[in-house]
Amino acid sequence: MSLPVTNSLHTEEDTPKVAILVETTIPPVSRANLRMYWLARALRAEGAVLANMVAPSQDLSSRRSYFTEGIWMNQYPGFGRQLYGRFRLPVRIWHFLASILSVVLLELTYRRGGARGFCAVHAWNPLAGMAAVVAGALIRRPVFLDFTDFYSDIARTDMPLLAKPLVWLENLVLSRARRVFVVSESMREHLVSRKGLDPDKVVVVPDGTDAQTFRPGLDGGAVRRKLGLSEDTPLIVFHGDIKHDDGVDVLMRALALVLKSRPDARLLVLGGGGPYFQNEIRPLVESLGIAHAVLTPGWIPHQEVPAYLNACDIGAMTMRATLNHDNYLSFKLFEYWGCGLPVVVTRLKAIGRIVRDGENGLVCASEDAPAYAAAFLRLMADRETARRLGAAGRELVERQFDWRMIMKAEVAQYTPEVLELSRR
């Protein structure tokens, strides 16, 4: 698998290509692209293939192709800015169709130019996965799927009308993929026992983080000054999207209990801002009388997140125990740990195999606000325990959960047999 790494279209004629379908532009601004971005980087580092990332532009008027970090980026006219807005369903349907067309046109371009084409189509999540299945059938190439979440389970509370169609979509994509990459052994067990997948086709490749970017020692003091906080203010952080199953309402109730003992404590919410946050969480915050203690700067640029996390004392993951949460891993866990934060998490199957209560984090029962509050207060009072737990998490990230190591397992699936498909 030792092929030369290529950096321009003028030197890649004899190099196999892989089409990687993603949801938003590169560099990534959200979890939707981060895993695939690191896959593309790993493919480039190994010299196995040229990664063609296929993604929507931010708005319909822009369409361009360019190299970034050795990755050949192909943006089709899209509506990336509206991906999570009111019209997200028609937007995603358009992106679904446009990504299929883009893969087919790229393959035709390679063939007409006498270059080796795609050896596989690789995608993340069910909708992009379905686009990969269709595109793969049209160009007669295998599909690799990163299946990190049960979106049908997420839709159960967020978009109930789509829950059953998503189950059908997940089953179809899983059955058609040559390789399915999952993030935990419990997810693999579920797909084999409940979905009937061949155990040999399901490969565990966990989520992780960039340990060089998410690291301790960054200037959190500047962030605290920006937020108007003193160095001594106890600061809990929740980072990421906010949906019902994320248990942010439970976190708010836990915060209200914490404030009874530590009125100086604060909660930083990085992310959120969607309809659920505005319609459910903000009214709850007001009714609990804790608005003064909740800081909501909203989404910030991804490259600024590590400094914000370094400004915090505790990472919170008060998720509800659901089918999806029991089987998946969360980026925020590894980002908290990467920055050396102690974490307070829900007792879940997959995460429970990584977070050990009292060893590298504190674990509470789902929806148990008093238990979460007690854990937060314990870490605020016992700084040595907080430091020890955070350091243990950081060591685990360095050893097992850095993207640079993790993605080698996916690259290994691009065997010589798969690479040779690009000659057909």
Phi and psi at residue 368, in whole multiples of 5°? -95, 80
Angle at which helix 369-381 crosses helix 383-400, to 10 degrees, equals: 100
Angle at which helix 88-112 crosses helix 126-139, to 10 degrees, equals: 30
Host H or E run for residue 335: helix 331-338
The residue type found at 87 is: F
What is d(CA 132, CA 146) in angstroms, rounded to the nearest whole number? 11
**pLDDT tens digit sequence for 129-142:** 999 999 999 999 99
Res 33: pLDDT: 81
With a cut of 70, say whether residue 325 has pLDDT above it.
yes
Res 90: pLDDT: 83
Question: What are the domain boundaries of the chain?
Answer: 9-205+407-423, 220-400
Answer whether 9-205+407-423 and 220-400 agree in fold. Answer: yes
**What is each CA distance from 26 to 80, 214, 302, in whole angstroms?**
11, 19, 12
Domain over 9-205+407-423 is classified CATH 3.40.50.2300? no
Q: Which of 155-159, 216-220, 297-301 reaches the highest mean pLDDT?
A: 216-220
In 3D space, the residue among 281, 268, 331 whose CA is nearest the CA of residue 302 turns out to be 331
Q: Cβ(308)–Cβ(282) under 8 Å?
A: no
Place of tokens 């148990």: 368
With a cut of 80, say whether residue 63 has pLDDT above it.
no
Q: What is the DSSP string of 247-299?
A: THHHHHHHHHHHHHH-TT-EEEEEE--SHHIIIIIHHHHHHHT-GGGEE----
Q: In DSSP terms, which residues pair with 363 in a beta bridge?
A: 345
- Whole-model pTM: value is 0.91
**pLDDT tens digit sequence for 34-55:** 899 999 999 999 887 899 999 8
Res 6: pLDDT: 38
With a cut of 50, say whether residue 7 has pLDDT above it.
no
Would you state the torsion angle of the CA atoms of residues 356, 358, 361, 362, taken in this order, to the nearest 10 degrees? 100
Q: Which CATH class is domain 220-400?
A: alpha beta
**What is each CA distance from 245 to 47, 152, 270, 326, in whole angstroms?**
40, 13, 17, 11
